[in-house]
Structure 1
Amino acid sequence: MSFINGVLSNKILLAAFCGWLVAQVLKTIIYVAVNKSFNPERLLGDGGMPSSHSATVMAMVTSTAFYFGPDTFEFAVTAILALIVMHDAMGVRRETGKQAKVINNMMDWFVQMDSDISPEEKLKEFVGHSPTQVFFGALLGIVVGFIVCSL
């Protein structure tokens, strides 16, 4: 029971979770506003504006700086982790999304040709983030980190 109480009272973990949650809700609202349709996959899915990856790690970095200070080992580890996650979200994950789009288009083309290739479930195209999405996700994470630490 003390483990659960410890997890639930961990402000750094709580800030990171809140950063993710707020980003996912905002991402869904923005998707509905732009596309005029609700897609429940946006609530838990990757990609989109703002980056929940960035919001999560930057909320963690901000709350770590708040509790331990910017000159500590804990801050250094979370800051480096945040840089890796945000770089990956803009790089590898974004390129994966572009490749998925091309492969999905190729599959549509093969289906139109009546080829023997069966049309499997399409690949996810929303997996990465643009630099703007990462920036606003990071900004959101900083704000959420300060709010959670202030409570």
Structure 2
Amino acid sequence: MNDVHSYLFAAVPPIAWVVSGCLKFAVNSVRHGKEARKHIGNGGFPSTHTSVVSSIAATIGFTAGWDSPLFGLAVAALMIVMIDATGVRRAVGENSRWINDISRRHPGGAHSNLREKQGHSKIEIAGGLGVGTLVGWLASLLV
């Protein structure tokens, strides 16, 4: 095993995280201009969580084979992340929106300022899957 290959699997997820985060900031800069910094965090295009997990799944698939047990495990983890992002985390964001709205309508009460942007749309998930797969493919070329 060469030196590049021995560190490849540990390096790919952080690289995907940085690539996805930079792309997300660029998209937010186009959409929101100077307000882009306020949109840093969960939610948005592409899904960073999906990018990170899909990058390692793709790297495993490209290097160990699409029929390897390790690739199957990585796909299972990826599915959980994507389902969570479009289901649970999206619902948390919607509930936060409702709670913030209710607290704004009641003067004199405690005002909540919950983060409303938590989950992802299917397009944002697909973007994260694309970014992660691309990073995994590029990384596999180093082997």
TM-score after normalising by structure 1: 0.84
- Code of the residue aligned with 1:124 in structure 2: it is R
List aligned pairs for 1:94-133, cutoff 5 A: 94-111=90-107, 114=108, 117-120=109-112, 122-133=113-124
Contact 1:54 1:137 in 2 (8 A): yes
Contact preservation (8 Å) 1:96, 1:127: yes
Q: Which amino acid aligns with 2:110?
A: S
Q: Which runs of 5+ in 2 are unaligned?
A: none
Q: How does 1:63-142 map to 2 (within 5 A)?
A: 63-111=59-107, 114=108, 117-120=109-112, 122-142=113-133
Q: Which amino acid aligns with 1:64?
A: I
Q: 2:135 corresponds to which residue?
A: 144
Contact 1:98–1:125 (CA under 8 A) maintained in structure 2: yes
Count of aligned positions: 139
- SS state at 2:34 partner: coil
Q: CA offset at residue 42 of structure 1?
A: 4.3
Query: What is the CA-CA distance between 1:65 and the residue it aligns to?
Result: 1.0
Deviations 1:46-87 (A, max 9, x none): 110011111111111010112211121211110100011011
Cα distance in 2 for residues equivalent to 1:21 and 1:94? 23
Aligned equivalents of 1:83, 1:118: Cα separation in 2: 38
Is 1:17 the equivalent of 2:14? yes
Q: Report the CA distance between 1:118 and its aligned residue.
A: 2.0
Give the corresponding residue for 1:62: 58
Q: Which amino acid aligns with 2:28?
A: Y
In the alignment, structure 1 segments of 5+ residues that lack a partner are 1-5
The TM-score, its normalising length taken from structure 2, stands at: 0.88
The CA distance in 2 between the partners of 1:101 and 1:107, in whole Å, is 10
Equivalent residue letter for 2:29 = V
- Distance, in Å, in 1 between the alignment partners of 2:70 and 2:63 is 10
